[in-house]
Chains A and B, each alone.
Chain A
Amino acid sequence: MRGVKSIERPLFFLLVAVILTLSVFPVVYAFFTSLKPGKELFVLPPRILPKEWTLEPYRYVFQHGEYLRYFLNSVVIAGGTTIVCLVLASLAGYGFSRFWIPAKRAILTIILLLQMFPGVVLLTPYYRLAQDLHIYDTYLILILIDSGLVLPISIWLLKNFFDTVPASMEESAMVDGSTRLQALVYVVAPLVRPGLVAMTIMAFLTSWNEFMFALILTSSPNVSPVTYGLAQLFGPYNIQRNIVMAITMLSVFPLILIFVFLQRHLVRGIMGGSGK
């Protein structure tokens, strides 16, 4: 290597190792703790690896319906939010990209500002709204709010993707007799798939991990998402730590799967786009 001293690279990798340890250690610790039997939790000095590996904590979680219910709630809320955002943001992103709209720049700027607006300020209005409309402690209120959180950035993201597709694509489809909506779904949407995938991931991730509004607007285990259920477990005198870590790992597992999936998809999308 030109310009690289022999000492530089070992030092560099030492730095990388330190950084990786700091950022990944908590996750590794949580993972191995979730594989420990209960009797190993208070062994001193504390160890990272289990002496005796067990799936007992995970079995405990699956045998207790209350935890599974939280997961079901999260699936409904995150799934609902993702669908709402996918439909509304696709239409809006396409509209903003293709049509003349009065005060378009102003509207887009306001949408961007909404994205940046501090969520805490919305606590009071949402609390009142939920009570006035009698939708406190329902899936509906959380799906609405989470969609409101993700929609602005989704519209921007998809608008930018639609901008890269030439209008001639759907025009030729429309000459062949399809409506604009059909052209959007069957011709344009496949071309912006990386954008749609990225948006889907973002919507799912945000709503799956949302906690603050769930804390304030739900109160029953029949509706509350898994973030709420997890927060109930925080504290020194709660259920055993290996079980807590098992639930924690289970709550992150879908996201890790999606994340691995996403990176591959994004790369493929970019490669496909540049190959044309």
Chain B
Amino acid sequence: MFVLPAVVFLVCVVLYPLLQIFPWSLDTWSAETHSFVFVGLQEFRRLLAEPEFWHSIKITFFFTGLVVAGHLVIAWVLAEVLNSKLWPGHRLRNLVRSLLLLPWIFSVSAAALIWGALYHPIGYLSYYASHLLGVSSVGFLSNPDLTLFSVVFVILWKFYPLYMLMILGGLESLPEEVYEAARVDGVSWRQSFFQITIPLMRSLTLTVVLIDFITTFIHFDLVWIMTKGGPVNSTYLVSFYLYERGLQTSSFGYASAIGVFVALLFGILMYAYIVAFYRREA
């Protein structure tokens, strides 16, 4: 009784719409009759034959790899710093932790505007970067070779707090005695990090990588506001392809086919993740 409203709500608002993309992906949208027409796998064939689609997939993988690796490093370093024994007291540590969560509460639009101002051709970063490098202009968001890295940096800044908190939670729950015992046995910091911390944190780290990979692979909003995929398609993510070529042209069958493609990728990843977990449990 109590769970019914929420379950019905989720089925109607999330599950049912989600499942619709599977039948729709076998259709094409007819603008004349305003309805779906069954065409089998035609939209998939069209999708897989499109070089622009593969370009966006390539960019997306590169983008995702950079972000996941960057988040992992940042999250680990910050979590280790917050978990350090060198803090004189909890008060200061908690203050720093709160400040480090700040990017988390900014909306993607707010983050895009702030970094847009910093990256602006006559903005703060551009001025000092161009002086430092001795060039007339850096073009953070106009140089096709640089823009992807510029937006990756913003993504790293905006989304690290969640991963930092996850890793920190893991570090704080590690058994203190094991480290004491290792220290008594004369094990160095480096050895204890690689021999104790890393193995104990493996499944949590895997979870962080999975969540980050999924959210970043289908990332849309922040990069969309900042670049719209440009310059010269150097930041054209697969979600932009879905939005522009599927939705904006009302090719709903095509858009659903892209959605199914992403959903299948998601399914494979989840499956691999679960298998990896169960193998360790067994």
List the interface of chain A (C-beta within 8 A of B). Answer: 4, 8-9, 12, 15-16, 19-20, 22-24, 26-27, 29-30, 33, 42, 44-46, 48, 87-89, 91-92, 94-96, 98-99, 101, 107, 110-111, 113-114, 116-129, 144-145, 147-148, 151-152, 155, 205, 208-209, 211-212, 215-216, 226-228, 230-231, 233-236, 241, 244-245, 248, 251-252, 255-256, 259, 263
Contact = CB atoms under 8 A, between A and B. Distances in A.
A211 B259 contact: no
Contacts of A95: 1-4
A198 to B, nearest CB: 13
B243 interface: yes
Contacts of A128: 20, 252
Given A114-B14, A251-B110, A33 B81 contact: no
Contacts of A151: 6, 9-10
Contacts of B226: 234
Given A30-B114, A209-B108, A227-B108, A118 B263 contact: yes
Interface stretch (B46-54, B64-72, B98-106): B98-106
B225 interface: yes
Contact of B100 (A20, A30, A205, A212): A20
Contacts of A8: 86
14 contacts: A26-B114, A27-B102, A29-B124, A45-B128, A91-B6, A110-B15, A114-B15, A119-B218, A123-B247, A211-B225, A212-B220, A216-B243, A236-B120, A245-B113
A23 B103 contact: yes
Which 10 pairs show the lowest CB-CB distances between chains A and B? A95-B2, A92-B6, A125-B17, A95-B3, A230-B109, A209-B107, A118-B218, A88-B6, A120-B218, A148-B13
Contact of B256 (A113, A117, A124, A255): A124
Given A227-B109, A234-B116, A92 B217 contact: no
B10 A212 contact: no
A21 B78 CA distance: 13
B21 interface: yes
Nearest to B2: A95
B102 A12 contact: no
B17 A30 contact: no
Interface in B120-176: 120-124, 127-128, 157, 160
Interface residues of B, number: 76
A118 B238 CA distance: 12
Contacts of B86: 4, 8-9, 12
B36 to A, nearest CB: 9
Contacts of B208: none
B266 interface: yes
Nearest to A159: B3
Contacts of B221: 211-212, 215
A148 B224 CA distance: 23
A91 B21 contact: no
B256 A20 contact: no
A117 B220 CA distance: 14
B83 to A, nearest CB: 12
A138 to B, nearest CB: 14
Contacts, number: 225
Contacts of B100: 19-20, 23
B33 interface: no
Interface string B227-270: 00000000000010011001100001001100100110010001
Which secondary structure dominates chain A's binding surface?
helix
A99 to B, nearest CB: 7
Contact of A241 (B96, B115, B117): B117
B94 to A, nearest CB: 8
Contacts of B110: 227, 230, 248, 251-252
Contact of B108 (A20, A22, A122, A211): A211
A20 B17 CA distance: 43
A128 B6 CA distance: 23
B132 to A, nearest CB: 12
A121 B198 CA distance: 34
Contacts of B14: 114, 117, 122, 148, 152
A125 B21 contact: yes
B5 interface: yes
B24 interface: yes
B188 to A, nearest CB: 13
Given A244-B113, A248-B110, A256-B105, A124 B13 contact: no
B87 to A, nearest CB: 8
Q: Pick the most buried of A26, A127, A215: most chain B CB atoms within 10 A of its CB.
A: A26
B41 interface: no
Contacts of B211: 116
A26 B121 contact: no
Given A20-B96, A121-B259, A26 B157 contact: yes
B112 A231 contact: yes
A101 B3 contact: yes
Contact of B10 (A33, A42, A111, A248): A111
